[in-house]
Chains A and B, each alone.
Chain A
Amino acid sequence: MRTPVTVKLFAGLGPKGWFAVALAALVGWVLVPMAHLLLPEGHPLHVSTYAITLIGKILCYAVVAVAMDLIWGFGGILSLGHGVFFALGGYSFGMYLMRQIGREGSYQSDLPDFMVFLDWKELPWYWSGSDHFLWALFLAVAVPGLIAWIFGYFAFRSRIKGVYFSIITQALTYAAMLFFFRNETGFGGNNGFTDFKRILGYSITAPETRLVLFGLSVALLLGALILGRVLIASKFGKVLTAIRDSESRVMFIGYNPLHYKLFIWTLSAMLCGLAGALYVPQVGIINPSEMSVANSIEIAIWVAVGGRGTLIGPVLGAGIVNLSKSWFTTSFPEYWLFFLGLLFILVTLYLPQGVVGAWAKLRSRKAVAPAAPALAPSVKAVAATEPELPAGSAAKGASA
């Protein structure tokens, strides 16, 4: 007999998990808004607008990190193109925000300012319907999803994997960035979209609007975590992890990895799109630099710092890296790249399982005898079964 979905959902998290979710929801939806609106500015517990925006931004990044972890940590596919999906979601929703400016732009035209600047007389076809909130939201999910599906279908069908896949997604990112930098593409060239005024008729800078967006980001992150948890605990998740660990063997047993990889890949891209759609109104700008190759690789380091193959790890990683980024870029702007670079090197060399893995190792070492720590099997499994290089270097792989 099949277990009903609701039962699966509840069983998936367990009482402890649900308690944590409820706690996070309470903080995100009640405590933070109260601390922002009710407490006076000088109060030690007051949460400033800056903090709301910063945390809201990091929450969106955390969703991207969770999406990345779903394919990298559990599927063994390192994508260097998630920045594109994120930015595509942002652009789709940004189109709506641009239309909401109405005639308040500097040229008092129905068209967005940059189109007036290009001397365009009407909206291009892909802008049609962008004044509807729901359509924009749909686009924010559907466009990244569709592109990911098409790309993934061809890539996974011809069994491109490992570094090859990473490099090709990087090329895709590069091409997408070049494409969006063009003025003629119709997305504002290198200035992108900015100067938003309203969302659903509400002022975008009003504290209440910001709080709603913040609350939605909390909800999206919690939703992504619950979804991830349920997926990983299901049979689907088990097959996915098996594909990560030994794709050929899974094929020999009789599964077709294509569908599993394609599903998680597309889902991950759609999550990124949603995160991007929430990110743009909070940050107030979207431009092609979001699609830069560097940004997409940074997403990977969030996940690596937090801990691959765990769901809470990416959230922690996104938080740690981005908080230190905003600290560094204000205090020691010259040293941020050194820090980030060293983070990449040190984490890959010494913290292959991220902070979560290190924490678990520490605890198990305290709890049990030094050998056979609780998390060790999964740790080794990931480390030892990193997808091999394709064809040419297979001879080298023999030594591994």
Chain B
Amino acid sequence: MRRFLISLGLALSLCASGAWADADPVALKALASDDFDARLGAIATLVAAGDADARRILTALSDDALAVAGERVVIVAGEQVLDAATGAAIKPAPASPESISLNNSLRQQVNSALAALRLLSDDRAERLASAKSLLSDMGEGATLLPLLDKALKQEQDGEIKPILVQLRAQASLASPDAALRLQAVKDLSNSASPAVKALLLGLLEKQGDTFVEPDEKVRAEAQFAVKAIDSRLVWSDLSGRLFTGVSLGSILLLAALGLAITYGVMGVINMAHGELLMVGAYSAYAMQGLFRSHLPDYVDYYVVAAVPVAFFAAALVGMAMERTVIRHLYGRPLETLLATWGLSLVLIQAARLLFGAQNVEVANPAWMSGGLQLADNLSLPWNRLVIVAFSGFVLLLVWLMMNKTRLGMFVRAVTQNRPMAGCVGVPTARIDTLAFGIGSGIAGLGGVALSQIANVGPDMGQGYIVDSFMVVVLGGVGQLAGAVWAALGLGVVTKFLEGWAGAVIAKILVLVFIIVFIQKRPQGLFALKGRFVE
């Protein structure tokens, strides 16, 4: 019944639209009527007109500025009262105009009508925005159909046009004409959006004994379209998972790279490694504060400045740890474990006293917020993309440092044969301190990356310590390549398991997997070749 009334209203309005100069006062009067369908019809009439008058009236309606004064519909604009139909001011102003109120579904209708009217705007950005907003919420689509047709005819832009085609198809799904609906379903089958899939699935549902969609052919076409969309969704879904996995892996890599040097290369169990991440994250927080108070114009670049600061802050803390405590415990790994745990407790409490026990707010700079939209359901956040690139950059630096510099050569020499390296003049004690400082500094870099995506608080490091040890253990001690493969592998596997079993079970499964894996290959994925008794 309602659908019939609307189409009746549409037909009438289409006949009349050419003749209108001003909005028809009689139709306007229907906006104030008590009958829902009549009001809907009146809105449809206005939409079909699609001119400046209609736009003015609908805007007023949505702002609750439309009112009835006697026989006239007026717009109340502050002191002035305007005639809705002509837009001319009425003098003297009529006494006590009665405001027209909207219920929720009518308000939604008005809003989507306004959005649809903006589709005819001259501004490309405005057209795109309104097309996208209609895509997510269209209301009673049939009302907008004539307007969409008009917009489609005018539209030249390659990005907006496909959206309009989809919008038009969505709108005509409600049409009483089966052929139109069939065409609409065919158009929609080209989409890759989960919302469209839900819409098509809605057609296939049963309400009581009858299908929502009465026509057999349309239903079959919809079935086919859902399958087509599904296969497209699978790919974007898979690549989305893969990306979150790589992103998690790059974070694990940043957390574990420093550990790969201190544990893997130097054999020091540093349980305070997570706290070095925390030092890095708090350095980012401090730089943000400095930039906000002293360089507000460049606040977007505080992250760039935080990178070296975090490196040196964490490296200093690390070298101080090495000089005061760890140095005395070389060759006693279990004691080192306990002492560095003590160090981590001290660092956590120090952070609490300095910055408060609550998490602090570290904001993404503008150029890192938002995302890269690759498909309807696949958007890659910029901050994650930047972190993936950043971890690649850090990895490159570490590789260059270890393999192309004199310091790196010394570190490798001390690792391979400490007494011999000492004999040929390598200052082993200083190399230990420096290598530990570098490992710690890399943890600080990881902290800056973490500050952009995770909470920054005194306890933040504790969550990463087990994970980063797992990466190093899985990758094989003393191997940078092992750490890379282990981090990326763990990240991707974790994310895929999460989709299948939930976050906690995924984490447990991964840990159990590592425990089992270590049984088989205690030396990790990539082992140093050689013979060892112990």
Q: Interface on A for B, CB 8 Å cutoff?
A: 78, 151, 154-155, 157-160, 162-164, 166-168, 170-172, 174-175, 178-179, 181-182, 247-248, 293-294, 297, 300-301, 304, 334-335, 337-338, 340-345, 347-349, 352, 383, 386-400
The residue from A175, A348, A392 contacting B476, defined by CB atoms under 8 A apart = A392
* Shortest Cβ distance from residue A41 to the other chain B in the assembled complex, whole angstroms: 37
Number of residues from B at the complex interface, CB < 8 A: 62
Q: Does A389 contact B333, Cβ atoms closer than 8 Å? A: yes
Which residue on chain A has the smallest CB distance to residue B458? A337
12 sample A-B contacts, Cβ–Cβ < 8 Å, listed by A number: A160-B522, A172-B511, A344-B341, A344-B342, A345-B346, A348-B342, A390-B523, A392-B264, A392-B267, A393-B266, A396-B267, A397-B267
Q: A345-B339, A348-B339 are in contact. List 12 more A-B contacts (CB 8 A).
A: A163-B333, A166-B269, A167-B469, A168-B515, A179-B508, A347-B338, A348-B335, A352-B335, A383-B332, A387-B534, A392-B267, A392-B528
Check A396/B333 contact, CB under 8 A, given A164-B518, A170-B469, A389-B267. Answer: no
- Bound together, the chains give a CA A335 to CA B350 distance in angstroms of 10
Q: Does A400 contact B331, Cβ atoms closer than 8 Å? A: yes
Check A343/B532 contact, CB under 8 A, given A174-B466, A390-B523. Answer: no
**B292 on the A face (CB < 8 A):** no
Which of A175, A294, A338 has the largest number of chain B CB atoms within 10 A?
A175
Which of A158, A159, A337, A383 has the largest number of chain B CB atoms within 10 A?
A337
Contacts of B415 in A (CB 8 A): 395-396
Q: Does A164 contact B338, Cβ atoms closer than 8 Å? A: no
The residue from B339, B504, B512, B520 contacting A349, defined by CB atoms under 8 A apart = B339
Which residue on chain B has the smallest CB distance to residue A340? B345
Check A397/B331 contact, CB under 8 A, given A170-B466, A391-B522. Answer: yes
Contacts of B348 in A (CB 8 A): 337
Q: Does B466 contact A334, Cβ atoms closer than 8 Å? A: no
- Bound together, the chains give a CA A10 to CA B341 distance in angstroms of 41
* Shortest Cβ distance from residue B465 to the other chain A in the assembled complex, whole angstroms: 8
- Bound together, the chains give a CA A393 to CA B335 distance in angstroms of 16
Contacts of A347 in B (CB 8 A): 338
Q: Which of these binds chain A: B35-43, B46-54, B237-245, B416-424?
A: B416-424
Contacts of A160 in B (CB 8 A): 518-519, 522
Q: Does A338 contact B346, Cβ atoms closer than 8 Å? A: yes
Q: Does B416 contact A395, Cβ atoms closer than 8 Å? A: yes
- Bound together, the chains give a CA A348 to CA B327 distance in angstroms of 12
**B190 on the A face (CB < 8 A):** no
* Shortest Cβ distance from residue B355 to the other chain A in the assembled complex, whole angstroms: 13
- Bound together, the chains give a CA A275 to CA B337 distance in angstroms of 26
Check A345/B325 contact, CB under 8 A, given A391-B523, A394-B534. Answer: yes
Contacts of A304 in B (CB 8 A): 338
Q: Does A397 contact B534, Cβ atoms closer than 8 Å? A: yes
**B129 on the A face (CB < 8 A):** no
Q: Does A334 contact B349, Cβ atoms closer than 8 Å? A: yes
Which of B264, B515, B528, B534 has the largest number of chain A CB atoms within 10 A?
B534
**B334 on the A face (CB < 8 A):** yes
Check A393/B346 contact, CB under 8 A, given A168-B515, A175-B507. Answer: no
Q: Does B527 contact A391, Cβ atoms closer than 8 Å? A: yes
**B329 on the A face (CB < 8 A):** yes
Which residue on chain A has the smallest CB distance to residue B477? A392
- Bound together, the chains give a CA A248 to CA B534 distance in angstroms of 7
Contacts of A301 in B (CB 8 A): 338, 342
Q: Does A297 contact B419, Cβ atoms closer than 8 Å? A: no
Contacts of B479 in A (CB 8 A): 392
- Bound together, the chains give a CA A156 to CA B509 distance in angstroms of 21
Check A398/B337 contact, CB under 8 A, given A334-B352, A349-B328. Answer: no
Contacts of B530 in A (CB 8 A): 391
* Shortest Cβ distance from residue A230 to the other chain B in the assembled complex, whole angstroms: 27
The residue from B329, B514, B522 contacting A390, defined by CB atoms under 8 A apart = B522
- Bound together, the chains give a CA A338 to CA B352 distance in angstroms of 11
Q: Does A162 contact B334, Cβ atoms closer than 8 Å? A: yes
- Bound together, the chains give a CA A342 to CA B348 distance in angstroms of 13
Contacts of A162 in B (CB 8 A): 333-334
Which residue on chain A has the smallest CB distance to residue B503? A178
Q: Does A164 contact B473, Cβ atoms closer than 8 Å? A: yes
**B483 on the A face (CB < 8 A):** no
The residue from A163, A168, A344 contacting B334, defined by CB atoms under 8 A apart = A163
- Bound together, the chains give a CA A390 to CA B476 distance in angstroms of 11
Q: Does B342 contact A341, Cβ atoms closer than 8 Å? A: yes
* Shortest Cβ distance from residue B497 to the other chain A in the assembled complex, whole angstroms: 13
